[in-house]
Chains A and B, each alone.
Chain A
Amino acid sequence: MAEVKLLGFWASPFSDRVIWALKLKGVNYEYVEEDPHNKTQLLLQHNPVHKKVPVLIHGGKSIPESSIILEYIEETWPQNPLLPQDAYQRAMARFWIKFGEEKMATICAVFRTAGVEQEKAIQEATKLLKIIEEQGLGDKMFFGGDGIGLGDIAFGWLAYLYEVVEKVSAVKVLDADTFPQLHAWIQNLKEVPVVKENLPDHQKLVGHLKRRRETHLALLNCHN
């Protein structure tokens, strides 16, 4: 079988998605840790347009962009399907994956703001999370239905990264009382062995995001 390599970054949720998908499919791969401040020739060669991780390299062919990689993995290794068979259900999954990607920055804006701006950001994030919970997840156990699918993988950052974002930003948005279904989903997702065993170190992530937030706020103060 052709060699599979993943260029990733330990703190990147986009990287984690690909790891989960590969592991759920039982695909063996070599992981290469990239430093975003010191990009390797390999990365620049395999993602010349965006120069970002993750990049999947399969038999020498490079596939960048996590959502595109996820579809590639699903199509190349059909075992343990992560998308439904039915075209309409697949469209629904893709709709919510797209929604999550487009709204991620807004949901995480609490991280880049303070004071009045942050209060506004909390309100916006709450609105969007409500839409995701009520219309995306609904009564289902997972976005994918009874079992984990690409939708859950794409929203996975809500289950572990967001609590770190909240912690370092000194806010609470995704609380259990306001979002009971999302909370239940988070608990269920964290119990899935592939997810449980492949989460970045919590403390390390806290330290990393704390430093990033300080940089953001310093920049904000420069402009004020």
Chain B
Amino acid sequence: MAEENKVKLHGMWASPYVKRVEIALKIKGIPYEFVEEDLVNKSQLLLQYNPVHKKVPVLIHNGKSICESLVILEYIDETWKNGPPLLPQDPYKRAKVRFWTSFVEKELLENVLLVVRSEGEAQEKAIKVVFEKLKLLEEGLKDLFQGETHHIDGENMGILDIVLCSLFGAHKAQEEVLGVKFIDPEKFPLLSSWVTAFTEVAVVKALQPPHEKLVMVYQFLRQKALRPSAAGVEVKEGVYVTSLSRSSPF
């Protein structure tokens, strides 16, 4: 492949934001080189490609860098028009997908992270909020799917599927570490069957770290927030030095 057309993805194996981009690239059948970044010792390249946020994921295409996972997903959809679309054609349907994607990103993800990082009363409060948001999402899905079963496979995963998958693909690990079941088929039948469906998609399965590794990630995030010294986290020049950032991908 000519150098200019080469696609590179700078990422980190435990990052759900990076996972989103990987799923999209694989669904579109776009070959890419994955560059594992050590987030404690960020490479010069990363700082050059993402000077504003200094974070992963960063997509490099035609020598140019695109940052922010949701921006990258839209870029991928607009650049590689062959292969399954990540957004519907119709502007109103696109608006609905963007709305619920934004909801998952801002209302759900933030609150799930709050549950991970808290305990006691604060955690109970956060859990309550997550359940409220899940209820809203379940209602929203009824409207979005309009009573039809939303069939997902490697050919039709879209931005909303990808973003929800990046959050709840690890729901079993979340359950084990947090002791709370968010993806409850009795409370949220549509959402639960949807999550089950996309975790079965071959591309998602292939990219999902093993359960034990995911449990480790959530345990680490929790320890880091609640008991940093116990997490084996050393603060060096204001940065958490950890073993997580240096573990190998799979």
Contacts and interface: CB of A to CB of B under 8 A. Distances in A.
Interface string B45-71: 000000110000000011010111011
Interface of A: 49, 58, 61, 63-65, 68-69, 71-72, 75-76, 87-88, 90-91, 94-95, 98-99, 131, 135
Nearest to A74: B91
Contact of A68 (B52, B67, B72, B98): B98
Given A65-B102, A71-B95, A91-B71, 13 more contacts: A49-B140, A63-B92, A65-B98, A68-B95, A68-B102, A71-B94, A75-B94, A87-B75, A88-B62, A95-B67, A95-B71, A98-B71, A135-B52
B20 to A, nearest CB: 15
A49 B133 CA distance: 9
Contacts of A69: 95
Interface residues of B, number: 25
- Which 10 A-B pairs have CB atoms at the shortest separation, nearest pair first? A75-B91, A91-B75, A87-B78, A72-B95, A87-B79, A63-B95, A94-B71, A91-B66, A76-B91, A68-B98
Interface of B: 51-52, 61-62, 64, 66-68, 70-72, 74-75, 78-79, 91-92, 94-95, 98-99, 102-103, 136, 140
A38 B61 CA distance: 49
A33 B91 CA distance: 25
A72 B67 CA distance: 22
A75 B87 CA distance: 13
A218 B177 CA distance: 41
Contacts of A90: 74-75, 78
B196 to A, nearest CB: 25
A90 B92 CA distance: 20
A191 to B, nearest CB: 29
A27 to B, nearest CB: 13
A68 B79 contact: no
Contact of B103 (A49, A61, A95): A49
A94 B99 contact: no
A98 to B, nearest CB: 6
A49 B94 CA distance: 18
Contact of B91 (A72, A88, A99): A72
